[in-house]
Amino acid sequence: METIKEVIMRRDNLTSEEADELIEEAKEALTYYLDEDDHESAENICEEYFGLEPDYIIELLEMVYKP
């Protein structure tokens, strides 16, 4: 499976920097939603920011909660 960055760069013709910025925004929003116990919004984060199915949330969560 392609990464979020690969998909949005290919599909939306974004530069690497633009994709990184969008991913950072989504990570901040995801953290906010989780801190607020807004699980429905957290679950829909990939659709909201990237137009992707919820399967990609695992990758985004791993970015937010890297050990």
**Is residue 59 over pLDDT 70?**
yes
pLDDT, position 67: 67
Of the pLDDT bands very low, low, confident and very high (cuts 50, 70, 90), residue 66 is confident
Measured between its terminal Cα atoms, the distance across the chain in Å is 22
Give per-residue pLDDT as tens, 5-58: 999 999 999 999 999 999 999 999 999 999 999 999 999 999 999 999 999 999
Q: What is the pTM of this model?
A: 0.92
pLDDT at 13: 98
Q: Can you tell me the distance from the alpha carbon of 37 to that of 32, in angstroms, rounded to the nearest whole number?
A: 9
